[in-house]
């Protein structure tokens, strides 16, 4: 009998323990259901992320025409142009009027594979630093200090530039035009177009960068850009007209006529993403290539080709110039 009571007691105790456990679990679950779930609200205010971005770009070209319209090299050899840059995002606020503030800087260099006898391979190095402000969701203003540096004896050009651009990709059209206007003010140094004012001068660039990607239509990660712009400014930006700029006419010794435009340019640039072959952790790599057409509209710029060695005489100066380029690079 004692053994029977012991077994019975054990069974009763186990049953009570199981019941208590089940009740506790059920009551805990019910209690949990009764407590409202509170989620943290999404953060929509300003943040200070200190995100770092950068890039490296290597370009090879058969010549160069500067944005101001100055042709620098005759058609010989290859130009090599490496460029690196960094950007630091110091402020973000998607819901505000000011959406992002970034600090940026970079350096660019150029060398020539086949200079004329007595010439130099290394030609120029430029560097810049500035601040970019994205606002009203689709607008961006960049302001930067820029310097063009040359071998000793050729001087250094110091400038301040500002560019206001608008991104219209959100319109949903297959092509985004990305219009912009840029002000280029040189406050110190020799003329950036050889025969213009030395310092305290400016030019204005008005352009668009139509962009069209074909990946969603063909599966090929290829993007085409059609950079197009016109360069405007006071006539003395191109021709200081002080008696030392007479390189025009059939004899290359006559005064050069000038005006308020320097060059009109358009072209096509293609960029192929290499994400399918290079892991993203190593950066977003790409191949690029294209051609840019320049129509020089200022006679003084044609005369300046004699000064740069791009032409032997004014009749030999080229009004229409095609620059072919290609290269490789990555961003992160």
Determine the pLDDT at residue 40. Answer: 52
Distance of CA 200 to the CA centre of its chain: 26
Name every residue whose Cβ is closer than 8 Å to that of residue 164 and which is 6 or more positions away in sequence.
139, 140, 141, 180, 181, 182
Q: What are phi and psi of 170, to 5 degrees?
A: -70, -10
Low-confidence stretches of the chain (pLDDT < 50) are 1-38
The dihedral sign for the CA sequence 304, 306, 308, 311: positive
What six digits make up the tokens of 216? 């969603």
- Alpha-carbon distances, residue 216 vs 175, 226, 290 (angstroms): 13, 19, 22
Determine the pLDDT at residue 131. Answer: 98
Please tell me the CATH superfamily of domain 51-331, with its number: Nucleoside-specific channel-forming protein, Tsx-like (2.40.230.20)
Determine the pLDDT at residue 22. Answer: 32
Query: Residue 37: is it exposed, middle or buried by C-beta count within 10 angstroms (0-12/13-18/19+)?
Result: exposed
- Rounded CA-CA distance 290/215 in Å is 18
- Rounded CA-CA distance 136/134 in Å is 7
Helix (H) or strand (E) holding 7: helix 2-34
DSSP string for 169-236: GGG--SSB--EEEEEEEEEESS-TTSSS-SSSEEEEEEEE--EEE-HHHHS--EEEE--EEEEE--HH
Query: Whole-prediction pTM value?
Result: 0.84
Q: 47 and 93 in contact (C-beta within 8 Å)?
A: yes
What six digits make up the tokens of 196? 């213009």
Tell me the domain boundaries of the chain: 51-331
């Amino acid at each position: 009998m004692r053994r029977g009571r012991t077994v019975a007691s054990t069974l009763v105790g186990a049953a009570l323990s199981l019941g208590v456990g089940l009740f506790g679990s059920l009551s805990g679950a019910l209690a949990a259901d009764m407590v409202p779930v509170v989620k943290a609200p999404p953060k929509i205010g300003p943040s200070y992320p200190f995100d770092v971005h950068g890039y490296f770009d290597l370009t090879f070209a058969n010549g160069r025409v500067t944005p101001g319209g100055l042709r620098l090299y005759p058609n010989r050899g290859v130009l090599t142009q490496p460029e690196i840059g960094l950007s630091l995002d110091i402020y973000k606020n998607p819901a505000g009027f000011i959406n992002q503030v970034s600090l940026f800087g970079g350096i660019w260099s150029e060398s020539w594979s086949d200079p004329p006898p007595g010439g130099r391979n290394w030609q120029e190095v430029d560097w810049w630093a500035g601040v970019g402000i994205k606002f009203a969701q689709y607008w961006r203003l960049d302001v930067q200090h820029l310097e063009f540096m040359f071998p000793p004896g050729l001087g250094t050009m110091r400038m301040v530039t500002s560019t206001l651009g608008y991104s219209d990709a959100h319109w949903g059209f297959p092509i985004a035009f990305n219009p912009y206007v840029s002000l280029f003010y040189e406050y110190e140094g020799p003329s950036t177009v050889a025969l213009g004012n030395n310092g305290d001068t400016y030019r204005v660039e008005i352009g668009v960068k139509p962009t069209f990607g074909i990946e969603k239509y063909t599966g090929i990660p290829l993007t085409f850009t059609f950079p197009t712009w016109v360069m405007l400014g006071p006539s003395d930006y191109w021709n200081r007209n002080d008696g030392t700029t007479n390189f025009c006419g059939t004899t290359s010794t006559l005064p050069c006529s000038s005006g308020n435009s320097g060059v009109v340019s358009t072209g096509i640039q293609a960029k192929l993403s290499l994400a399918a072959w290079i892991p993203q952790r190593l950066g977003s790599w790409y191949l690029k290539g294209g051609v840019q057409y320049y129509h020089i509209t200022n006679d003084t710029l044609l005369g300046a080709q004699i000064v740069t060695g791009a032409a032997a005489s004014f009749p030999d100066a080229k009004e229409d110039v095609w620059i072919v380029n290609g290269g490789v690079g990555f961003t992160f």
